[in-house]
């Protein structure tokens, strides 16, 4: 699965490098720094997210995916800024039948801390979650990454991410952070 994700991310980066430098057309979007958080994700946080998703991992940390195969999900943290703070991305890929079962890519769930608990603020199926350097309401904008020339844009509405009814170009994701 790492090869699949690496190939998609490489393709996205290559396509972005071919585009012209551009700026987001949303007047509310502001430039900001994006950083992948360096802290390790605790076992307690992983357990809480598994519980929110109704999943029980086996002793090796694998859970049953939608294809009926055991798969080890990825947990990645990233700084979203503003009220959202540090997030955890849960990425669930396929097993041996990934291509036939997961035609649209991995299942992605993004969580932010809400007091002592985690709360889901984004969920979609795609190859790569792109954290843009622009922000709305103080929180980084997101795009659904993967091969293509434009990417659906998601913006923070104060409590969660909402689809903005527009897309961003390759040039607009050139300086973004790609997860996973």
pLDDT digits (tens, 9 = 90+) for 9-52: 333 333 333 333 333 333 343 333 444 554 689 999 999 999 99
Structure confidence at residue 92 (pLDDT): 86
131 contacts 177 by C-beta, under 8 angstroms: yes
Q: Give the max Cα distance, the chain.
A: 49
pTM of the model as a whole? 0.76
Task: Using the structure block, give the residue that is written with the tokens 């849960």.
Answer: 90
Domain count, the chain: 1
Q: The domain containing residue 168 runs over which residues?
A: 2-179
Q: What CA–CA distance (Å, rounded) separates 52 from 46?
A: 10
């Amino acid at each position: 699965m790492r090869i699949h994700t690496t190939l998609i991310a490489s393709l996205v980066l290559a396509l972005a490098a071919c585009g012209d430098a551009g700026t987001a057309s949303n007047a509310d979007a502001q430039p900001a720094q994006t950083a992948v958080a360096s802290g390790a994700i605790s076992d307690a946080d992983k357990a809480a997210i598994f519980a929110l998703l109704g999943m029980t991992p086996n002793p090796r940390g694998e859970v049953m995916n939608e294809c009926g195969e055991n798969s080890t999900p990825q947990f990645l943290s990233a700084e979203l800024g503003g009220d959202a703070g540090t997030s955890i991305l849960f990425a669930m890929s396929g097993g041996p039948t990934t291509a036939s079962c997961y035609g649209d890519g991995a299942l992605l769930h993004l969580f932010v801390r809400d007091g002592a608990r985690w709360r889901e603020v984004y969920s979609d199926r795609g190859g790569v979650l792109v954290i843009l350097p622009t922000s709305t309401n103080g929180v980084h904008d997101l795009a659904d990454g993967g091969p293509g020339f434009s990417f659906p844009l998601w913006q923070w509405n104060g409590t969660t991410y909402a689809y903005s009814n527009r897309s961003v170009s390759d040039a607009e994701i050139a300086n973004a952070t790609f997860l996973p």
